[in-house]
Amino acid sequence: MFFKRIRSINYFKQGFLKLEAGYLRASLADFSKAIKLDFKNENAFKCRGDEKFNMEDYKGAIEDYSEVIKLNPNNKNAFKCRGDSKYYLKDYEDAIEDFSKAI
């Protein structure tokens, strides 16, 4: 399990570097690999959710932000981002609920 966690962290870091370089789809793949190795990698879920949001995959982003919230119910940023995704899907009531939790 220890080595899987280390590999997960490495994929996350690699994905983040690709993201910084502008390789969005490649970074998404690395974040997915990180999650596959460690389902508790909150940062990988958050970054993958951000990429899905940027690609206008709001439903996919909501799924990833929801996983972040399951792992860390105090992550205000995940509530805000999930609210943004719901807003773009015109789910205004649920978006307001998430924004309220973020505040």
Residue 29's identity, in one-letter code, is: A
Place of tokens 């205004």: 92
CATH number for the domain spanning 81: value is 1.25.40.10
Number of domains comprising the chain:
1
User: Nearest to residue 46, comparing CAs of 57, 33, 35, 59?
Assistant: 35
Residue 36's identity, in one-letter code, is: K
CA 80, 76, 10: angle at the middle one, nearest 5? 100
pLDDT digits (tens, 9 = 90+) for 1-42: 678 889 999 999 999 999 999 898 899 999 999 999 999 999
The pTM assigned to this predicted structure is 0.92
